[in-house]
Structure 1
Amino acid sequence: MTLTTDTRSALSRSSRPLRFAHVVIVGKYHAPGARHAVDEIAHFLHDEGCDVSLEQETAANTGLHQYPALDVAAIGKACDLALVVGGDGTMLGIGRQLARYGVPLVGINQGRLGFITDIPFDCYRETLRPMLRGEFTEDARALMAATVWRDGHCVFEATALNDVVVNRGGVASMIELRVEVDGHFVANQRADGLIIASPTGSTAYALSAGGPLLHPGIDGFVMVPIAPHTLSNRPVVIPAQSEIALEIVSGRDASANFDMQSLTSLLHGDRIVVRRSEHALRLLHPVGWSYFDTLRKKLHWNEGG
């Protein structure tokens, strides 16, 4: 039998040693079909020669107990790669926790948009096979470290990959925020709120509020007012090395959200301080991945040309 060039190339790739020997799967376990998807991918990884574990909540909620169940600390210590099966929310949740351990992550999209879970489920096999053997593009994403200060004491802290959002409560009135950058007064802004977003988060809430798209390679954050009282209050891009401080001057029932996954209530005089985290998320993409391909597909831009 004569092998074609493509067949020889495929055999050569599959015979290469594994770059990632121990892979953990993190699943969107409450979604319909999640158990089947996680089980199918686990079998695929096993057939490729990987040791396979499940994140402990994924294991508990899917009932797949034939694989070791690991908490975040154990994943950080033992695993070479985390495979996230779900949507961007699933990636945000586990990504913030694993960033401190330097574990790289790959996203398989079972959600709706999938800006950072960018491998379609229906082609994960042919995409993951070369990635497991070292054929990938690495993409470092900045995180934000946020703290809330009250009467000189830190009362809340969180890490955010997408955004930190300070907004008003359910009452129909604005809040007023004193905004400082690196200790310099910027303005007192009256608005429904203010978003501080990373390049990753620039395609999320910040985009819907009129903010710009920031390429992941840009070392900066963007401040985007939500429905400002003064229409000249526009989005501003800030160097990522800066410290941004917001003080609650007036307004009722204000709160701070971090990636829309954790929340704390705010009082008058509270200060929310946001700076770049010392950790970064390591995202892996297939060879040939392009940020602009992602934007074009997910935002339904004209695909001509």
Structure 2
Amino acid sequence: MRIETNNELLNNIKSAGIILKPSSPELKEIYLKIKTLFEQAKIEVYLEDNSANMICLKGGHSLDELCHKVDFLISVGGDGTLLSVVRKSFKYDIPVLGINLGTLGFLTDISMEQLPKFIEDLKKNIYKIDNRMMVEGSVNLNKFVAFNDIVISRKSISSMIRIKGKINGKAFNTYYGDGVIISTPTGSTAYNLSAGGPLVYPLTEAFIVTPVAPHSLTQRPLVMPADFEIEFKIVDNQGAVVIVDGQDIYEVEQNQSIKIRIANKKAKMMHRIQRDYFEVLNEKLRWGN
């Protein structure tokens, strides 16, 4: 398992693209405040078109246009909004900054109170960009990328599901229960944590495979190097559903397979230089309280 770090910073930042949490028209005042703060620092701001329509402003740009036009993207909302922005912009290799308006915020670490100081530091190149592992998968000729996790789940709540797993073409386990979570280290604090899986430092390159409510007490979470290709075959005739980052859903029938491997590039996350992963865990999980 490798640790990926990135000391490369952006040169001569001139512009940023903003994407707001969907279905949140009340964010108009917050957007205008963010826009003012960046423009005061001589950084031009462009708004994504769906966000612009939501808060009744003209002149929005598609996400594709933003990714070609700006130096970095800003997600305004919670972790779910950031997940969506990272996945949709991933192919453009553009850094994403998360401004947290929610309550948990494992991924979005900058609050509105911290934003003025962050912008001041940004102009002085006092910030960092993390390289976060992404996974890519395929099912029924559909290809997808995931930032947090891929969940293989039963279709019916009245019965369990049987899933056969392979690593690099060799059988390694058969899972029988409610399903299986295949998580990235970044996603280890999401569904994986709720299901009893391990926390893994987010810059590590590794897969985490965690059974959900397994029928056998011998089934345990597994951490493995990211250079393996993992395959899961659905054994039961009821089929299954594959849920990508909690946002996209694919149906899988009996004897069909889901193949998963590390993506050939990383997602880029912008953070405060002061951000410390273990302090985040301490705060969010209330360790020591």
Please state which band the TM-score falls in when normalised by the shorter chain: over 0.9
Q: Once superposed, which parts of structure 1, at least 4 consecutive aligned residues long, lie more than 2 Å away?
A: none
The residue aligned with 1:199 is: 185
Q: Where in structure 2 are there 5+ consecutive unaligned residues?
A: 1-9
Q: Deviations over 1:165-220 (max 9, x none)?
A: 00012331110001001111012211100000000100000000000001012110
Please say if residues 165 and 230 of structure 2, whose CA atoms lie closer than 8 Å, have aligned partners that are also in contact.
yes
2:91 matches 1:100? yes
TM-score (normalizing by structure 1): 0.88
Q: Map 1:142-291 onto structure 2 (within 5 A).
A: 142-149=133-140, 154=141, 156-250=142-236, 252=238, 254-291=240-277
Q: Tell me, what secondary structure is at the counterpart of 1:278?
A: coil
Please say if residues 174 and 251 of structure 1, whose CA atoms lie closer than 8 Å, have aligned partners that are also in contact.
no
Q: Considering only CA atoms, is the larger Rg found in Structure 1 or Structure 2?
A: 1
For 2:115 and 2:283, how far apart are their aligned partners in 1? 18
Please say if residues 296 and 302 of structure 1, whose CA atoms lie closer than 8 Å, have aligned partners that are also in contact.
yes
Please say if residues 178 and 187 of structure 1, whose CA atoms lie closer than 8 Å, have aligned partners that are also in contact.
yes
Please say if residues 18 and 74 of structure 2, whose CA atoms lie closer than 8 Å, have aligned partners that are also in contact.
yes
Q: Map 1:78-117 onto structure 2 (within 5 A).
A: 78-117=69-108
Cα displacement (A) at 1:128: 2.4
For 2:123 and 2:95, how far apart are their aligned partners in 1? 12
Q: Where in structure 1 are there 5+ consecutive unaligned residues?
A: 1-16
Q: Tell me, what secondary structure is at the counterpart of 2:132?
A: strand
TM-score (normalizing by structure 2): 0.92
Among 73, 87, 98, the residue aligned to 2:64: 73
2:40 matches 1:47? yes
2:21 matches 1:28? yes
Q: Deviations over 1:51-103 (max 9, x none)?
A: 110112111111222xx422222122111011111000000001012222121
CA RMSD of aligned residues (A): 1.7
Give the partner amino acid of 1:175: I
Cα displacement (A) at 1:32: 6.1
Give the partner amino acid of 1:48: A
Please say if residues 161 and 198 of structure 1, whose CA atoms lie closer than 8 Å, have aligned partners that are also in contact.
yes
For 1:82 and 1:133, how far apart are their aligned partners in 2? 18
The residue aligned with 1:62 is: 55
For 1:143 and 1:197, how far apart are their aligned partners in 2? 10
Q: Tell me, what secondary structure is at the counterpart of 2:99?
A: strand
For 1:180 and 1:29, how far apart are their aligned partners in 2? 38
Pair 231,251 (structure 1): closer, same or farther in 2 beyond 3 Å: farther
For 2:239 and 2:103, how far apart are their aligned partners in 1? 31
For 2:158 and 2:136, how far apart are their aligned partners in 1? 30
Pair 101,30 (structure 1): closer, same or farther in 2 beyond 3 Å: same
